[in-house]
Amino acid sequence: EMSEMSERSKQNVAHGLAWSFYAGYLKIVLPRVKKSMEEFSRANPNLPACRKTWKLHILVPLSCDIYDDLEKADSNIQYVTELTETTLARAGIKKRVYKHSLYAITDEENQLWHCAVEYATPLQTLYAMSQDECAAFSREERLEQAKLFYRTLEEILRGSKECADTYRLIAYEEPEEAETHFLSREIVWHLRQEHHEEISVLEQSHPPSPSTALDSAELNLQISVSDLPQPLRSEGF
């Protein structure tokens, strides 16, 4: 009886998709991301290295609207190269390949930020279900399922020791009026947060002298919060 109620309300859809995404993909690739980024950094010493951004940045648009080509989604996002691939035997498939794309993100000051970024692919399933009459999946239900998918995935990853500090979930709601560079600004906001996290760690390890230390107010002035998109918080759903 409980199972039938769950089926009718579709409460198990997002939950199952989140677990499948984690167990069938993220748990496999995330522990290898830092090594791939480190190899790229060694091969490209001319590019600035921020170890806190050596993660897989996973885009979670709550609209479930996903671009297959990120460069078409936002011209400030440019493909750079493929990171070192991982090849495994998986579910009867010999030499299955897992790999990530590295992108250069241009911010409003024309500064380049490099990161591995991709969409959470199960959202394509939610979108397809909302377009298929057989699924009887409304737009409102799709939005609720996208939120549930994000919360579930966040909880799963938070409890995964092997995936710790290897990812960043970027959940967002697109503005009603189209903005040309909304996505790149959203990604850069998170990259800046990670960059400041690294600076904080370095400062704690090597406290600067009083004459050169910046207080928190000065640091905050370096980024205008009003000009940047605000990240979603799961507790707000």
Please give the Cα distance from 234 to 154 (Å, whole number). Answer: 8
Task: Tell me which residue has tokens 């998918």.
Answer: 149
Strand pairing report for 167-172 and 93-98? unpaired
Tell me whether residue 180 is in a domain.
yes
CATH number at residue 163: 3.40.50.12100
Whether 107 maps to a domain, the answer reads yes
User: What does the pLDDT read at residue 205?
Assistant: 53
**What are the pLDDT digits (tens) for 2-39?**
444 444 555 578 999 999 999 999 999 999 999 999 88
Does residue 86 lie in a domain region?
yes
Tokens of 10: 């579709």
- The pLDDT value recorded for residue 202 is 52
| Domain assignment of residue 78, yes or no | yes
| pLDDT given at position 230 | 47
Give the pLDDT confidence score for residue 150 in this predicted structure. 96
Does residue 77 lie in a domain region? yes
What CA–CA distance (Å, rounded) separates 92 from 35? 26
Q: Which domain holds residue 73?
A: 13-43+53-205
Instruction: Indicate the SS3 state at residue 57.
Output: strand
Neighbour order of strands in the sheet with 77-82: 77-82, 101-106, 112-119, 56-61, 167-172
Distance in angstroms between the alpha carbons of the first and the last residue of the chain: 28
Domain count, the chain: 1
227 in any annotated domain:
no
CA 19 to each of CA 149, 153, 198, 226: distance values in angstroms, whole numbers, following the listed order: 9, 7, 30, 35
One-character DSSP codes across 136-179: T--HHHHHHHHHHHHHHHHHHHHT-STTTTSEEEEEE---SS--
Kindly give the parts of the chain with pLDDT less than 70: 1-11, 48, 135-136, 198-237
Is 152 among the domain residues? yes
